Structures are given as structure tokens and as C-alpha cells.
Copies of this chain bind each other. A is one copy, B any other.
Amino acid sequence: MRRPDARPLYVQVEAILNERIVSGDWKSGQALPAEPELAAELGVSAGTLRRALARLEQRHLIERRQGRGTYVTQQTSEQALGQFFRVRNLAGQPVEPDTFITGVSTGPANEEEAARLRLTPGEAVHRIERSRIFEGEPRIAERITLPAALFPNLTLPLAPAQLATEIYVHYRNAHGIIVVQSEENLSATAATEADAAVLGCPVGTPLLLIERVTFDAAGRVVELRVSRLDTRAHRYAVEIA
């Protein structure tokens, strides 16, 4: 098994299991076969299988519990919130956002969008405009850009209610896209008139500008998100380990 593929066996096994999850072979929340069974099926030792499973767990694709079993991670609101939503109030506590869709449209990608999403310019994208409310006050104005090819049935149903909660949960449930990683560029900017109208702040208020590109378990670029966060009463938390 090792000759044609130079990668270590445990990496190959990880890739096989990753593929089974991504392809929907094993569904969200479903239990994987027990370790001895899986190891036998794949023709590797228990140790090698466990090493592959440990890597999948580190990427949050599976969850393992002693005595219970191994399960494909359910992309619940809480899980996505804890992993990707980093806004805290001034006491350092996570906040629970309410979300309102302010606009949805479809059109050709501009240069910036095409570059970030790795599309050819002009390819179709969906755009979602949202505002997010913390503790009664609108604090985030953002635009989400999605490759239309990955979200074929997004425009027609057009269900703002579904998009209002954590959108990564919707991606997973409705489109089978499992979000695992993001890259962000942060900067500061002054609120435009449009920002001021949405956020209820004076024009020129300093805002935290978050430009996020998100990847799924198959390595595809899934989303470009540009958020403007009013930091008068909130902070953006980052850990470096």
C-alpha cells in the first residue's frame, strides 16, 4: 500500500475516512464502525487507525467518547459558534447574536471575489447581506459571497429564516459542506453612511473590518465574508498557541 503513495499510512487512512465523511457515506451524527472492525476493513493495525482518527478529531470532523463510540461531528449552532464565532462582550463572555438578512442576490463575481474564492472572473456567486444584533443593538454589518456552483439551490427557496442562524450549520445540512478552517485579514476602517445606517453609529466611527475566507473538509474555498464590527461594546478574541 505504501509504494505508489509516499505519504505515511496513517495519513492515507485519514484521507480515506475524510473522503467517506465528505461524500456523505457517513452522515452527520452517525457512529463510525468500531475500531477493530474498521482497522480490519482497511487492512491496517489498530494503532495506525487510531492515529488517523486522532487527526480527524483534531480537525473537528469526528468526536470520540470512551465507552460510547466515534461519531461524525454534528455541526450544531453551539459547535460552530464556539469554533468560528469569536465576538465577546467587554466582560469577555461570548454573546448570542440575532441575525437579519437584509439582501440576497446572484451575479458574476468581481475581481476581488474571484481572486479570494479561486474562481474565474465572471463566474456566478451568491451575495448575502446580513446584520447581527447583540444584546439588542446591531453590531455587525456583513456581506457573504458564495460560489454559486457549490450552492445550487440557494436562490430559489430563498429562506431568510434558515440563513439567520449560524450559517455554517445551514451549509452542512442543506449543501453537505463541512466547514473546517478560515483565514482572516483584520484591519480598522471608518463607518460609511451605509454602515452608520445599519449599525446606528455616527459616520466615521472606527470599525473592526474582518475579511474571512473559509475552507471545507475537501479543501475547497466555500465562502468570502466581509464583516464590519462595531467594537464600542464588544471585542474580537484571538488565541495564538
Number of interface residues of A (CB under 8 A): 33
Which residues of B are found within 8 Å of A209, using beta-carbon distances? Answer: 188, 231
Asked whether B240 lies within 8 Å of A59 as measured between CB atoms, the reply is no
Q: How far is the CB of A127 from chain B (nearest CB, A)?
A: 22
Among the stretches A21-29, A37-45, A69-77, A200-208, the one at the interface with B is A200-208
Q: How far is the CB of A159 from chain B (nearest CB, A)?
A: 27
Q: Is A93 an interface residue (CB 8 A)?
A: no
Instruction: Give Cα A238 to B206, complex, Å.
Output: 20
Asked whether A185 lies within 8 Å of B235 as measured between CB atoms, the reply is yes
The count of identical subunits is 2
Asked whether B240 lies within 8 Å of A187 as measured between CB atoms, the reply is no
Q: Is A183 an interface residue (CB 8 A)?
A: yes
Q: Which of B181, B189, B207 contacts A240 (CB 8 A)?
A: B181
Q: Is A241 an interface residue (CB 8 A)?
A: yes
Q: How far is the CB of A168 from chain B (nearest CB, A)?
A: 12
